[in-house]
Amino acid sequence: MEKYKYYTNFYKVVLLVLDIFLINIAFTVGYLLRFDKVEMAANYRFFFLVFVLIWWIVSGTTRANKLNGHTGYREVTANLAYAWFLHAAVTMGCMVAFRLYDVPRLFTSYTFVSAFALTLGARYAIIKVYKYYKELDLAYTKYIIVGANPAGEALFNFFENHKSMGNKFMGFFDENPHGVMGHGTLAVQGNLADLKRFCQREHINEIFFAMPLTRKDVMDDLIRFADDHFISFKMVPEFAALPKEVHLSFYESIPVLSLRREPLEIIFNKILKRSFDIAFSLAFLVFVFPWVFLVVGAAIKLSSPGPIFFRQLRPGRRNRLFECYKFRTMRVNSSTELQATKGDARITPIGAFLRKTSIDELPQFINVLKGDMSIVGPRPNLISQLEHYSQTIEQYKIRHFVTPGITGYAQVNGYRGETREDGLMAKRVEFDVAYIQNWSFWLDLKIIWLTVYNMIRGEKNAY
């Protein structure tokens, strides 16, 4: 399952790193209690490596790392107790095999008890944070089901039985809203004519289309509406001809089709990306930006009269406007909605250098910290570009499903600078959509690395 796959390979890595950190603390506690000091002898450091290696194997082959929206305290305790019992048995065998007879039993006991308590406490804390997050409105995905029929009812029952997934049912919509199945006060909200108005008023996040796929006229109309209003559109099909490339997921035995992969709709991925944005931008603004500001600010002031920063409204996620910050690279003028071109007379000499090296974009780390932007994402275009390309490029609006970035997948692939031809912007959009559908934390790190490399090398399309 895509959106509901809380437990990913990367999540296992994060949990393993946390466990190793806690085991290190457990070793320190055990050594301190046994010897009244924390500086370990060499044989204990070797024992620590063996201890961690065994935990890596045991935790990966048992249910010690099972931690998702459905896991309760009792299940976590049982799984972890079994894993540590198995670990203790294997460790004792290794101690005999490696002749680690000089490791005191009291130290080993202190270490095992501390490790179990710390790892259990950490998992309890994760569950507690998750349950707190679920109580926030931010954690819920509001959805409706189009089609009050057996397929729609099966999907409704699935979500009712899995409420910890963070979904909020807002109602059915059907061509015949009278006399169909009842599911309380939120059952049938109206007919298809009422659907769009309801979605806009209630800020619906997902539409599940459970009507027969032969109703292509209704489906195509709702797909266009969903894309225009940043709503995920998914189908619960009685398999027939499909409208375009789709991705199949199963909610138990119920097949659900979505129009595109959306890794950034997974809660864990959202938290990971935002946490990295905050940490990275905060570190940059505290330790690097003050020096950049002094040097670049002085150069801008000497090159032409006017402010150091240039601020301009740009469309962000879901087309919400925000004030985007840059170092000023042009002489003060009244044509700020006109895209820069090669040899543009408005650009100052220092501005040309700042654009070539992308240093002019560095103030956007302020936007990242505020939450208007991310470090990596589709670049925010001009408002005039939004109005034009929304009408001429089919998938243009999809790039606004996510938060815009200081740098992006299109930029590191050479698509930056002037976009006088629609074909160049269409190619940017193609890369932006590919980024949205294939996002991973490692892809973000790769894009950041390529951006730094391009800044040092300089880019021919930057002017």
Q: How far apart are CA 398 and CA 401, in angstroms?
A: 5
Contact between 172 and 188 (Cβ < 8 Å): yes
Token representation of residue 371: 């939450």
Burial 414-431 (b: 16+ CB within 10 A, else e): ebbbebeeeebbbbbbbb
Sequence-ordered strand ranges (E) for 35-181: 141-146, 167-173
Q: How far apart are CA 137 and CA 157, in angstroms?
A: 22
The architecture in CATH of the region 140-259 reads 3-Layer(aba) Sandwich (3.40)
Give the pLDDT confidence score for residue 2 in this predicted structure: 43
Q: How far apart are CA 44 and CA 40, in angstroms?
A: 6
Give the pLDDT confidence score for residue 376 in this predicted structure: 96
User: Which DSSP string corresponds to 375-405?
Assistant: EESPPP--HHHHHHHHHH-TTGGGGGGS--E
What are the boundaries of each domain within the chain?
Answer: 9-135, 140-259, 267-457
Q: Is the dihedral of CA 86, 91, 93, 94 positive or negative?
A: positive
Q: How far apart are CA 445 and CA 8, in angstroms?
A: 18
Nearest to 19 by CA among 131, 107, 109, 120: 120
Give the pLDDT confidence score for residue 86 in this predicted structure: 92
Only one residue has tokens 């209003």, namely 229
| Contact residues for 64 (Cβ-Cβ < 8 A; gap 6+) | 58, 79, 80, 82, 83
Against a cut of 0.75, is the pTM above it? no
Nearest to 261 by CA among 245, 241, 240, 242: 245
Contact between 106 and 73 (Cβ < 8 Å): no
Residues of the chain with pLDDT under 50: 1-8, 183-185, 240-241, 463
| Contact residues for 79 (Cβ-Cβ < 8 A; gap 6+) | 62, 63, 64, 66
DSSP state of 340: P
φ, ψ of residue 347 in degrees (nearest 5): -80, 130
Nearest to 10 by CA among 447, 451, 444: 444
Q: How far apart are CA 419 and CA 344, in angstroms?
A: 14
| Contact residues for 449 (Cβ-Cβ < 8 A; gap 6+) | none
Q: How far apart are CA 213 and CA 222, in angstroms?
A: 12
Give the pLDDT confidence score for residue 128 in this predicted structure: 83
Only one residue has tokens 């103030």, namely 363
Contact between 373 and 380 (Cβ < 8 Å): yes
Q: How far apart are CA 430 and CA 376, in angstroms?
A: 16
Measured CA to CA in angstroms, residue 286 lies from 223, 291, 293 at distances of 45, 10, 11
Token representation of residue 189: 């909200």
Q: How far apart are CA 356 and CA 296, in angstroms?
A: 14
Token representation of residue 26: 């457990």
Burial label, 301 (beta-carbon count in 10 A; 0-12, 13-18, 19+): middle
Q: How far apart are CA 67 and CA 18, in angstroms?
A: 14
